Structure 1
Amino acid sequence: MPDIYLPDTPKGSRFGWPRPARLEEFKTRLEARGLATDRIVFQGLNQDLPIIRIPIDLPKYRLVNGRTASLQVEHLAINADLRPDLFTGDPEMWDAQEVQHELLLKLGRLSDLDDYFEDTTHKQVNPLLLDEEGFVVNGNRRLSMWRQLLHDEPQKYGHFEHIEVVVLPHATEKDINRLEAQLQIEKDIRADYSWDAQANMMIAKMERDDIKAEELCKLYKMKDTDFAQLLDMRAYADEYLRSRDKANRWSEVSSQEHTFQRLVQSRSKLSGVGRKEIFKEAAFALIDDPTAVGRLYIAIPELAANLDKVVERLASEMDLDTDAPDDGLEDLFGGGLSDESDAQQTGLIQALKDPAQRAQAREAIGDVLETERQVKKDVKKAGYLLDQCAKANSYLTAAAKEGLRPESKLTGVAKQLDEIETRVAAIRAYLAEHA
């Protein structure tokens, strides 16, 4: 790998002073007498820590930031030329701090922090919390906003040239994690953290900090079932993105929390590995373009409830190649794809993975779900039996009149007619007994 020029940050840069300069400034400022204090519950103690005023350029952003967890991996996915350890390597480096600044600005604008602080009457109220090295533990978004406003219009926003901070005493990463959870997660994770950022943060803490799932549940006051569901949602979203050649593009699914929640919940209720796989691939096809089915968080459970009818419809309409390579599906089914049902399931899974057939699949699924919705509406009517028979007659009349053409697809038609005759016989038997 060629050498990459990674400039250090000079004193006076917008993105943090060098470490020795930061520590010297802290020492000088903390020696002043009569400093106001801020009470923090830290390391299991109520601590009254001094508040100091420092230049806004001094602190550095904390790269291990839960809110930017998804944005960081997406940024690396989009910008493949960047060094892969941009956010996991040396946090002192200027290039990492600059990118983190832009990501924090993006989050700040999403939460309207920019509009709030653009009003010059809105000044700093609460001090930022820094660790002993000068990295921001709490207040990263605010700092990015203040820096940007000051940079763009220094005369208008000169009140941000110096900011108030509290420097925490020496602490372990576990101490910082507990404080972060206390200050941010407990009160506002639903408001400020997208579901994917929360999930990616949890994964990072388990992999990077070797924190067990049980400890994270306790730390962030989550039920173990909710924690497991969140990670399952992330796993499906990650699989979906990879299957669409969009690995780590988390902004593509950030608004689909309820969709992936319903996917996890609905798939767990299905039996059979093959049926579960078909359901997942069909759901992925709907996520691509939900216009055929409406609101996905409603359509996904409906897909699971009517999966057999959907499978039947798809199998009759889609181009299934049951002789194609199974791409590992034989292992999925436990080996031995010997019977016709397994071969059909394999072919259907492959067809749903085929980009050329997904639009057709969405249309068919949408038709089935809409039909079932209408059935639910009509089923309570006294004239339901007659209405359905009239509809069936209308469809068969149209099929006999318009469908008997040389180019019509005949595969599966005989099976459908056999099933229709079975249903007709059942209705006639009921009429003979009750009419």
Structure 2
Amino acid sequence: MQEYEKYGAPLLDRKSEIDELIKTPNNQYPLEINGKLENLPVIRVRIQDPIYRLANGRTKTMQEEYLVKHPEQPTDLFTKDEGSYAAQKAQHEILCKLAADANLMKEFKDGKEQTAPIICTVAGVVVNGNRRLCAWRTLYYGDSKKYSHFEYVNIAIIPRECDEESIKNIERKLQIQKTLRADYKWHAKAMMMKQDQAEGTDIIELTEKYDMKNKKDTGIFLAAFDYAGEYLEKTGRAKQWSIVDGDEFSFRKFAEERKKISEQDKKELFETLVFQLIQNHSGYSGRLYDIIPDIAKNLDAIYEDMKAKMEAVETPKGETEEESEKEQSGKAEGVSTDTDNDTVINNGDGDDLDLLGGEAIETGKYAKVTKAIQNGVIDNVSEIVTNTIDNQKALQAEAKTSGFLIGQLSKASSYLQNAVNNGLTDKSDITGVSQQIKNIEDSLKAISDWLSAKEGK
């Protein structure tokens, strides 16, 4: 068999063969189409005859990623000519990964044979069964003797009057609905929904079509997809959707919590922190989506700890604050900044990109800390976030007791005495000490003012 014959017979050959075979089908296959039960004619064709459906929603995001990773290919590879060898071969590569992910390759390799027919149009385009066909072809083309049972495959032909919307409905019914399939990539499903939405489908109909819980769930799901796309762009990996395969719930939680924050610069800080943790999964040992609500709840405390960290590194020894500020206004070593959109890109090989926040926020309480995180000035971000949250939870537990105030003051007094006893040496680094003393003095004044007011009642 010639290479160019492996992924679909010419259009006229496919159509004429199917037209002839459906006159005397082997049997029938019942399938509901547009609310009506149809008995589709089942015929047997050579494995190389059908072509993959390039408009298959399951592969849309993976096609985007394929084009990013293969810049030598034309951008209209998957849309210009459905039957082209190059497009079908590329689609085969994509489907091989999906077939492996779904364990289909292993099942058929271990001896499983075809049971149900794949669903095709009268032109031999596969509506349902693309991954199975891919797995069979891979095995048969690799060892035609061992897998001779895949030389011919059974296909069921949908009525020729079925239009694109009917085909989409079949796909939704057979591939997406949770009662039948649980392995659809979340971002692929979201892209299909976004396309339907752009074509005028309202959120109520989307919720029903795609078996979502309710309108709110649909809205959060689509927002999560948008934020995932934003995240990929900001980390220099636009459209590489496989990177976020396992992050659906993290982006869902992010979308839910972000809309509760009113200040724009605070939204930016929250986004930067969450995106940082998503990018560096190793920095957090638990389920990431569980900590996202805690980040939102303790955002001000996290900001204060990040600010203290930033101030501790902002004025290195031997420099004036003015000199240091000029140096830090740029970014961390090896990083360049696009001033139009505040995008930060590492100048290295691209494997260790620095993280970006959202829109360029130049003013506001949280802006400077946000930029320090984005520019790599503050390190160990994941550790600071988790430590702050743990500390806040402990404080909140203690705060429920009447002895909370005196307990905290006792701890502070003990720490300060320890600093006096052991820290006043020539070896101690004094960077940031003045600022910490000021913070302590401000806190003591606030407590003293409160105490005076309480005693004066």
TM-score w.r.t. structure 1 length? 0.85
Equivalent in 358, 361, 366 of residue 386 of structure 2: 366
Match of 2:298 in 1: 306
Q: Indicate yes or no: 2:154 matched with 1:161.
A: no
Distance of 1:273 and 1:73 partners within structure 2: 31
The secondary structure found in structure 1 opposite 2:37 is strand
More displaced stretch, 296-305 vs 407-416: 407-416
Mapping 1:263-342, distance limit 5 Å:
263-295=254-286, 296-318=288-310, 327=340, 342=363
Secondary structure of 2:366's counterpart equals: helix
5+ residue gaps, structure 2? 315-324, 331-337, 343-357
Check conservation: 1:318, 1:360, Cα contact below 8 A. no
- 2:166 corresponds to: 175
Per the alignment, residue 101 of structure 1 pairs with: 92
Work out whether 1:184 is the aligned partner of 2:175.
Answer: yes
Distance 1:189 1:69 in 2: 20
Amino acid at match of 1:233: A
Whether the 8 Å contact between 1:71 and 1:103 is mirrored in structure 2 is yes
Q: Give me the whole-angstrom Cα distance separating, in 1, the residues matched to 2:387 and 2:23.
A: 74
Inter-partner Cα distance in structure 1 for 2:308 and 2:339 = 20
Q: Is residue 394 of structure 1 aligned with residue 446 of structure 2?
A: no
Give the distance between the partners of 1:373 and 1:293, measured in 2 at CA. 17
Letter in 2 for 1:50: P
5+ residue gaps, structure 1, are 1-8
2:431 equivalent to 1:408: yes
Aligned to 2:27: 36
* 1:387 to 1:151, Cα distance in 2 relative to 1, 3 A: farther
* Stretch moving more, 282-291 or 228-237: 282-291
Matched, 1:349 2:349: no
Conserved in 2, the CA contact under 8 Å of 1:12 and 1:58? no
- Which residue is equivalent to 1:113? 104
Q: Distance in 2 between matches of 1:299 and 1:290?
A: 12
User: 1:124 is matched with which residue: 102, 114, 120?
Assistant: 114
Question: Is contact 1:258-1:297 (8 Å) kept?
Answer: yes
Contact in 1 for aligned 2:268/2:359 (Cα 8 Å)? no
User: In the TM superposition, what is the alpha-carbon distance from 1:63 to its structure 2 partner?
Assistant: 0.9
53-62 or 373-382: bigger deviation: 373-382
CA offset digits 1:17-75 (Å, max 9, x no partner): 01000011102211226x31111111332111211111111100011122222211111
CA–CA separation in structure 1 for the residues paired with 2:412 and 2:50: 72
- How much does 1:293 deviate? 4.0
Map of 1:4 onto structure 2: none
Match of 1:141 in 2: 131
Corresponding letter in the other structure for 1:31:
K
Secondary structure of the residue aligned to 2:182 is: helix
- Seen in structure 2, the aligned counterparts of structure 1 residues 397 and 190 have a Cα distance that, compared at 3 Å, is farther
Aligned position for 1:216: 206
- Cα deviation, residue 419, structure 1: 3.7
For 2:341 and 2:197, the matched residues in 1 are separated by: 29
- Please, which of 255, 259, 275 is the counterpart of residue 250 of structure 2? 259
- 2:75 equivalent in structure 1: 84
Q: Is the Cα contact below 8 Å between 1:278 and 1:345 reproduced in 2?
A: yes
Deviation at 1:96, TM superposition (A): 1.0
Post-superposition Cα deviations, 1:287-342, rounded to whole Å, max 9, x if no partner, equal: 2224444331122111100011111222232268697898579xx9999x7xxxx4
Report the counterpart of residue 45 of structure 1 in structure 2.
36
Q: CA deviation at 1:203?
A: 2.6
CA–CA distance in structure 1, aligned partners of residues 283 and 446 of structure 2: 29
Residues 345-400 of structure 1 show CA distances to partners (whole Å, capped at 9, x for unaligned) of 2222322321x235343333232122123335555678766654443233323444
Q: Which amino acid aligns with 1:285?
A: Q
The change in CA–CA distance for 1:57 and 1:323 in structure 2 (over 3 A counts) is: closer
Structure 1: distance between partners of 2:424 and 2:276: 29
1:64 is aligned, of 42, 55, 62, to 55
For 1:6, the equivalent position in structure 2 comes to none
Residue identity (%): 30
Residues 349 and 185 of structure 1, relative CA distance in 2, 3 Å threshold: same
TM-score (ref. length: structure 2): 0.81
